[in-house]
Amino acid sequence: MNDDERIRAYYKRWKPGRRVFLDWFLGQRNARVKQFEHFILSELTFLLTEGEVAKLLEIETGLSQAEARSTAETLEVYLDNPLTIDYAMSLSDMIAAGHYDRKDKHITTENFPIRGIDTVDVKSRLIHFERDVGGDEVVHYLMKLNLVPSDLEHLLAFGAKYPDLQREFPIVSLGSVWMDSGGKRCVPCLGGDDSERILVLCVRVPEYEWCGACHFLADSK
């Protein structure tokens, strides 16, 4: 029995009006937990250890120590994002595994050749700047953190494993670049909202700044 169930059992004889308040209160607490989980995922992905995440959850959301520790363990999976890349899969298969509602027709093997072999495990991070930022600045910052921009196949593995994160914010892969017929350099991105998930190409030019909502997928060297 979890804390919510124990509370409901203890107060099961409350009058209906007070039970409505209890339902509202528990809903608010659960919403607060979800809100704080999202904050950790989107803003602190590179900064916190699992223990620090647990302590923050305990302080900020009112979770018990055990609940906070359990939630932190779950979040740490996202923070480290261990991905398995199966290079036996074709690019079409990798895209199909993500079940995207829409995809850019130019994301093909011809434009984005897959060169890996065997099965590879990679540890990836989502990096967020909280402001508009140029592509070159992103790459230089990643280098300082001993990270490299993720390739398309890593982005696709991420999208397949964590399908709902792209509904919250755009996720960009700067490691794979295709030049279109107009000479524009394009990189793959995951995006979407409550109604759909999309795989698209975004233009990357020196004067272009990525919006503050963008998160950049990067791999440990």
The Cα angle at residue 208 between residues 95 and 113, in degrees rounded to 5: 30
Q: What is the pLDDT of residue 46?
A: 47
Q: Say what the pLDDT of residue 140 is.
A: 86
Per-residue confidence (pLDDT) for residue 14, from 0 to 100:
47
Number of CB atoms found within 10 A of residue 57's CB: 24
Q: Where are the beta strands (DSSP E) in the chain?
A: 82-86, 102-103, 119-128, 133-134, 147-149, 171-172, 178-179, 185-192, 197-203, 209-210, 215-220
pLDDT in tens, the chain (221 residues): 555 555 455 445 544 544 554 454 455 556 666 665 665 555 555 445 667 667 767 766 777 888 877 776 666 555 555 789 999 999 999 999 999 999 999 999 999 999 888 999 888 888 887 788 888 888 888 888 788 999 999 999 999 998 988 998 899 999 999 999 888 899 999 999 999 999 999 987 666 788 888 989 998 87
> What is the pLDDT at residue 31?
63
Which DSSP string corresponds to 110-172?
Answer: TTS-----SEEEEEEEEEE-SS-EEHHHHHHHHHHTTEEEPPHHHHHHHHHHSTTHHHHS-EE
pLDDT of residue 130: 74
Domains in the chain, CATH or no CATH each: 3-80 (no CATH), 82-220 (3.10.100)
Q: To which H or E segment does residue 46 belong?
A: none
Q: How far from 44 is each of 28, 81, 127, 130, 165, CA to CA, in Å? A: 23, 14, 9, 11, 15
Query: Tokens standing for 81?
Result: 């994002």
The contacts found for 138-142 with CB under 8 angstroms, 24 or more apart, are: 138/174, 138/210, 138/216, 139/174, 142/216, 142/218
Is the Cβ–Cβ distance between 125 and 158 less than 8 Å?
no
**What is the reported pLDDT for 10?**
47
Query: CA nearest 75: which of 195, 165, 148?
Result: 165
Tokens 């509202």, residue located: 24
Q: How far is CA 42 from the centre of its chain?
A: 7
